[in-house]
Amino acid sequence: MNTATKSESIEWAEHRVEARTGGAWQVPAGCLLRVTDIEGSQTGDVFLVDAADVADGLSNGRSFDYNDSILLSVGSRLYSSRSKVLATIVADDVGRHDFLYTPCSQEMYEIQYGVTAPHPNCYDNLTDALAQFGVPRSTVTVAFNIFMISSVSADGRLTVSPTQSKRGDSIVFRAERDLLAAVSSCSSDTCNGGGSRPLQVSIGTVR
Amino acid sequence: MNTATKSESIEWAEHRVEARTGGAWQVPAGCLLRVTDIEGSQTGDVFLVDAADVADGLSNGRSFDYNDSILLSVGSRLYSSRSKVLATIVADDVGRHDFLYTPCSQEMYEIQYGVTAPHPNCYDNLTDALAQFGVPRSTVTVAFNIFMISSVSADGRLTVSPTQSKRGDSIVFRAERDLLAAVSSCSSDTCNGGGSRPLQVSIGTVR
C-alpha cells in the first residue's frame, strides 16, 4: 500500500503592534494573518483591502448578508464592498468579535468623551498604515473588531462589554486573494477593560 | 399680551422613482427629503453624501455608535464616515428600517440567486445616480434601507421579513448640511413581498 503524505510547514514573520498604534502588511493569497492578544483583555481593529483594487475594502454589510449572521467566527468568510471574498477565519480562540462599530476616531473621542487634544485612535492608525500602500482613507469604513463584545437587545439597543480575550488568545485569517491588512491596537477603555496593550501580528506562509 | 406667530410653509418638488430604478438629488441644509411608498409593500435604499466632500458618505457603524442602537426612527441622526451629522429623521410612518445590509448588487444576485444575466439592483441605481454629481462608486457602502425589516436573533443570525409598509406611508429626513441624496426602489423580492413598485421622492424647502 502506498500512503501519500504531504508535509506542510508554516513560516511565520512576526510583528509587534504597540499599544494604541497600528501597522499594515501585504498578505499574499493563501497566506495566514494571525493576531494575538499578548497580555490579555485587548481588542483590535482589523481592516482588509483587495491589493488589486485599493478602493475596495472590507464590508460589514456584505459579510453579514453572505454569512446570514452578524457574529462571525471559524468558517466565516469576510467580503469586500464589491462582494469579493477577502479572507476566511480559520482559527479563533475567543469566538466573539464585533462588526457593527466603526473604528474609534478623533471625532468619536471628541463627540462621546469631550476630548479636545489629539487622542490615539484606530481610524488614524488604520488609514495611516494603509496609506503607505496607496489606500485612500475613504476605503476604511467598518473594521472587523477582534475580541470586542457588542450586544444587540431585542429593541435594537447596543451595548459594549469588556473583552473576554485572555493572554495568548489569537484569531487566524486565511487570505483568499492578495490582501493589504491593517491592524490597530484599540485605545478605547470601554472595550478593553481599562488600559491598552500591544498585539502580535504574524504573517504565515505555507511551505 | 402679544403673541408671536411664525408662519412657515413647505414647498415640495416631486420626483417619481420607477420600480427597480433610482435617482439622486441635491438637498440643501435645512430642506426635507420625503420618500413615500406609493402603492405599499415597497422598500427603498437611501444613501446620503456630504455635498462638500463626495468621498464622505453615510456610515452605518458611526450611526449605530452615536445612536446606541441599530434601529433608527424619529429623532435619530444619520452620520457620515467622518462623523458629520448628515440628517435627522423627523417623521416616520413605518418605524422599522434596516441598516445592516448592503444594497443589492449584480454580484449579490449572482452569488445568492444564481442570476447570470444583468439584474436591476440598488447598488448600480445609487452609484449611477450619484455619479452625475461626481460621487465615486466607492463612497456608496451600506445604505439606509427604508421600510425593510431585518431581525437579529440572540445567536447573531439574521433574517429578513417582508416590509409592513402600507400605501402612502413615508419617512422624512431633514438635511443637517448640504447633501446629495440617492434613492433606489429595491428589486429584491425577499424584502418587498414579491414584485417591485415605484417610490415618490419629495424635496421640501421651508419658506
In-domain check, residue B3: no
Interface test mutation site (partner B, options A62, A68, A80, A97, max chain B beta carbons within 10 A): A62
A-chain residues near B155 (CB < 8 A): 69, 71
Residue B4 confidence (pLDDT) above 80: no
Q: Do A81 and B108 touch (CB under 8 A)?
A: no
Report, as an integer, the average pLDDT of B155-169: 95
pLDDT band at residue A189, thresholds of 50, 70 and 90?
Answer: confident
pLDDT score at B80: 98
Alpha-carbon gap, residue A130 to A138, rounded angstroms: 11
**Mind telling me how many Å the CA of A7 is from chain B's nearest CA?**
35
Nearest chain B residue (CA) to A57: B138
Residue A1 confidence (pLDDT) above 60: no
SS3 letters across B113-182: HCCCCCCCCHHHHHHHHHHCCCCCHHHCCCCEEECCEEEECCCCEEEEECCCCCCCCEEEEEECCCEEEE
Cβ neighbourhood burial of B194 (10 Å; 0-12, 13-18, 19+): exposed
Residue A4 confidence (pLDDT) above 80: no
In-domain check, residue A142: yes
Q: Which residue has the higher pLDDT, B8 or B60?
A: B60
pLDDT score at A3: 64
Q: Do B158 and A70 touch (CB under 8 A)?
A: yes
In-domain check, residue B26: yes
Report pTM: 0.94
pLDDT band at residue A192, thresholds of 50, 70 and 90?
Answer: confident
Q: Do A141 and B105 touch (CB under 8 A)?
A: no
Sign of CA dihedral B188, B189, B195, B197: negative
* Total of domains in chain A: 1
**Mind telling me how many Å the CA of B31 is from chain A's nearest CA?**
25
In-domain check, residue A3: no
Q: Which residue has the higher pLDDT, B149 or B5?
A: B149
In-domain check, residue A35: yes
In-domain check, residue B87: yes
Contacts of A73 (CB under 8 A, 6+ apart): A89, A92, A95, A96, A97
A-chain residues near B82 (CB < 8 A): 105, 107
In-domain check, residue B2: no
How much of chain B, in percent, has pLDDT values that exceed 70? 98
pLDDT score at B18: 97
pLDDT band at residue A177, thresholds of 50, 70 and 90?
Answer: very high
DSSP state for residue A134 in the 8-state scheme: T
Alpha-carbon gap, residue B191 to B127, rounded angstroms: 21
pLDDT band at residue A104, thresholds of 50, 70 and 90?
Answer: very high
Task: Identify the domain containing residue A98 by its residue range.
Answer: 22-190
**Which stretch of DSSP H or E encloses residue B200?**
strand B199-206
DSSP state for residue A137 in the 8-state scheme: G
**Mind telling me how many Å the CA of A178 is from chain B's nearest CA?**
19
Find the angle CA(B85)-CA(B89)-CA(B91) to the nearest 5 degrees.
Answer: 160
3-state secondary structure of A29: coil
Q: Do B102 and A139 touch (CB under 8 A)?
A: no
Q: Do A102 and B69 touch (CB under 8 A)?
A: no
Q: Do A68 and B158 touch (CB under 8 A)?
A: yes
